[in-house]
């Protein structure tokens, strides 16, 4: 069956359909990841986005039981040059196409993904629609131009009720803005007693849980839309509770401390982004997925200092509070494309908790 990608600038790509037969719209973004497509498609940070894979062949090892980052994928669609109809891997349970059908996610293949990626890099991310017909293309283009980007994605992907992953170590409350299972796995590996709470949980409710630390998770969309999270972080800081912010959580910590954020032209999405640790000079290969960034010049109006910086474009990749026990990173340390370059972030969080408890700085009252 034929399928088309219609972009807001009037460009139309002709290809073939796979996965779900339904049509869908979203922000068209690209990822440079060569592997890990299952993790990408189940990452809640891709909520309401149509993902273009720059690697030409996707799906060759199928879908397995262990690589999910969330149970319910939130992406609007997938675009590839070629998909493997007959995958081969000892852990594979089904093909990518059959999985997309089961999850009701439409796919498009057989187009020049290099040309599409170059367009996004030149013009920035574009709104688009995966359509099964071009008979009404002018109307679709007008609708895309007239409609704003979808908002409130965090509300869609965050857990609705708290849940507990019991263990014997430090109690860590994870604020779920769209958390990936890999982050919970890393905390569990360090024997943390994990409690996951919805994105709009108040600081008072978190404090009642008497956490040893709070992790602000990754998530989709514009951080400035998550006002409850910003207020909550400000209150937690006043109690000297150790905080680690990751991706969206990093941006929210920055906003809570008086810094600012901005939308990037085409974002950082992929598993090969080099980041420099300014304290050691070491470079780590990182996994990233974000369309917004903390503006470096705004840090002068905050109590935050720059700790990590992107090698490719110099954007802010890590922050540390000058007074409070809080730090953050823009990339995803649990994804480990290095493969273990950035996993140490969780160990640093454990050390921060230990030091804060030893010095008796934290208070719940």
Could you list the active site residues?
A: 247, 332, 334
Identify the pLDDT of residue 342: 79
Query: Phi first, then psi: what are they for 9, rounded to 5°?
Result: -85, 5
Domain-located, residue 165: yes
| Residue 202 clears pLDDT 90, i.e. is over it | yes
| In a shared domain, residues 262 and 161 | yes
- 77: CATH: 3.50.30.20
**Does 365 fall in a domain?**
no
One domain for residues 347 and 199: yes
Same domain for 178 and 122, yes or no, is no
- Please check whether residues 196 and 115 belong to one and the same domain: no
Whether residues 183 and 39 fall in one domain: no
From residue 248, give the alpha-carbon distance in Å to each of 96, 222, 256, 279, 293.
28, 8, 12, 23, 9
Please indicate, yes or no, whether residues 143 and 162 belong to a single structural domain of this protein.
no
Final residue before a domain boundary, out of 150, 166, 199: 150
> In terms of Cα–Cα distance, which of 239, 183, 169 is closest to 216?
183
pTM: predicted TM-score of the whole model, two decimal places: 0.97
309/151 Cα distance (integer angstroms):
28
189 and 256 in a single domain? The answer is: yes
Q: What is the mean pLDDT of residues 9-36?
A: 97
183 domain-assigned: yes
User: For residue 331, what are the domain limits?
Assistant: 154-359
Half-sphere exposure of 108 (CA within 13 A, CB side): 31
Count the helices and strands in the chain (H runs, E runs): 10, 19
CATH of the domain at 263: 3.40.50.880
Considering 150, 166, 198, which residue would you say is the last residue of a domain?
150
Mean pLDDT of 273-283: 96
* CB-count exposure of residue 59 (10 Å: 0-12, 13-18, 19+): buried
At 361 the pLDDT is 87
Instruction: Give residue 144's pLDDT.
Output: 97
Give me the count of residues in the chain.
365
Are 182 and 79 within one domain?
no
One domain, residues 246 and 338: yes
Write down the pLDDT at residue 257: 98
Q: Please give the span between the terminal C-alpha atoms of the chain, in angstroms, as a whole number.
A: 62
Q: What domain count does the chain have?
A: 2
Instruction: Compute the average pLDDT of residues 106-128.
Output: 98
């Amino acid at each position: 069956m034929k399928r088309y990608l219609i972009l807001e600038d009037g460009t139309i790509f002709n290809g073939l359909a796979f996965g779900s037969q339904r049509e869908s719209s979203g922000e068209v973004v690209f990822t440079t990841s060569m592997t890990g497509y299952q993790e990408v498609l189940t990452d809640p940070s891709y909520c309401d986005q149509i993902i273009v894979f720059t690697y030409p062949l996707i799906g060759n090892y199928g879908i397995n039981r262990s690589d999910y980052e969330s149970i319910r994928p939130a992406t609007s669609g997938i675009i590839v040059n070629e998909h493997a109809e007959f995958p081969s891997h000892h852990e594979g349970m089904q093909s990518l196409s059959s999985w997309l059908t089961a999850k009701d996610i439409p796919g498009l293949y057989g187009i020049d993904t290099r040309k599409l990626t170059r367009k996004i890099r030149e013009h920035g991310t574009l709104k688009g629609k995966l359509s099964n017909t071009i008979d009404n293309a002018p109307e679709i283009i007008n609708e895309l131009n007239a409609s704003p980007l979808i908002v409130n994605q965090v509300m869609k992907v965050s857990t609705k009720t708290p849940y507990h992953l019991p263990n014997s170590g430090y109690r860590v409350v994870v604020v779920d803005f769209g958390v990936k299972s890999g982050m919970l796995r890393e905390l569990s590996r360090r024997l943390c007693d994990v409690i996951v709470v919805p994105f709009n949980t108040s600081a008072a409710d978190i404090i009642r849980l008497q956490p040893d630390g709070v992790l602000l998770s990754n998530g989709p969309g514009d951080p400035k839309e998550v006002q409850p999270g910003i207020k909550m972080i400000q209150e937690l800081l006043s109690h000297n509770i150790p905080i680690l912010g990751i991706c969206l959580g990093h941006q929210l910590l920055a906003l809570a401390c008086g810094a600012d954020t901005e939308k990037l032209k085409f974002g950082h999405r992929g598993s090969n982004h080099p980041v420099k640790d300014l304290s050691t000079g070491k470079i780590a290969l990182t996994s990233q997925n974000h369309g917004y960034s903390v503006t470096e010049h705004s840090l002068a109006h905050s109590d935050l200092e720059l700790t990590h910086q992107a090698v490719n474009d110099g954007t802010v990749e890590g922050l540390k509070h000058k007074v409070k026990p809080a730090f953050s990173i823009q990339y995803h340390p649990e994804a480990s494309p290095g493969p273990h370059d950035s996993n140490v972030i969780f160990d640093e969080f454990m050390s921060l908790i230990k030091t804060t408890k030893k010095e008796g700085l934290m208070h719940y009252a």
